[in-house]
Structure 1
Amino acid sequence: MAWSTTQSSKRVVAQITRALGRIAAGTFGICTGCFEAIAKDRLSVVPHAELCVTCQGLAEQRL
């Protein structure tokens, strides 16, 4: 259980780090899959989101 929590925490830290990079690059809020704007409602729930809802759904289907 501790290993799982550690891995989850590392994944979130990596996502936040990438989000900070997108802020610095001026691309925050743009989907890295389709390059469309990510809905503000999604960003308010998951501020480090890299994908829009559509692209996130497609990515999860591939798993």
Structure 2
Amino acid sequence: MAAMDPRSRLEEERARTLRRLADLTDDFASVVAASRDTNADDEHDPEGATIAFERSQTDALIRQARRHLDEIDAALARVANGTYGVCEGCGQSIATARLEARPSARTCIGCAAAAAR
């Protein structure tokens, strides 16, 4: 099977992320509506997570999806300006395997590892 070109792969990833963001936003709205429609003291419910916890967790996932969308958009801009696949740290090529695993990667594995230390 031939590898998909970077733009197509990123556009597919972008569409998937937009769907996930829409689902999470719907989930968040449902949690907020549920908290509005109940008098339950969910903070003391021994049966499970509180509504506040669920709202916070969903909000964190929404922020994560938005950051991922920003990374995809930045990668699409790099495709457009011809710098996609070039490490922003050292200027060398980013390995194809890394770009296949993480299409929005900005750095090579070496530079990513150095930044993580």
Normalization by structure 1: what TM-score?
0.90
Asked which structure has the greater CA Rg, the reply is: 2
Q: Cα offset for 1:10?
A: 1.1
CA distance in 2: counterparts of 1:57 and 1:7, whole angstroms: 24
Q: Does 1:43 align with 2:99?
A: yes
Q: Does 1:32 align with 2:93?
A: no
**Displaced runs of 4 or more, over 2 A:** none
Q: Which runs of 5 or more structure 2 residues have no equivalent in the other structure?
A: 1-56
Q: Does 1:18 align with 2:74?
A: yes
Aligned to 1:56: 112
Q: Cα offset for 1:4?
A: 1.3
Percent pairwise identity: 34
Instruction: Give the letter aligned to residue 49 of structure 1.
Output: A
Structure number with higher helix proportion: 2
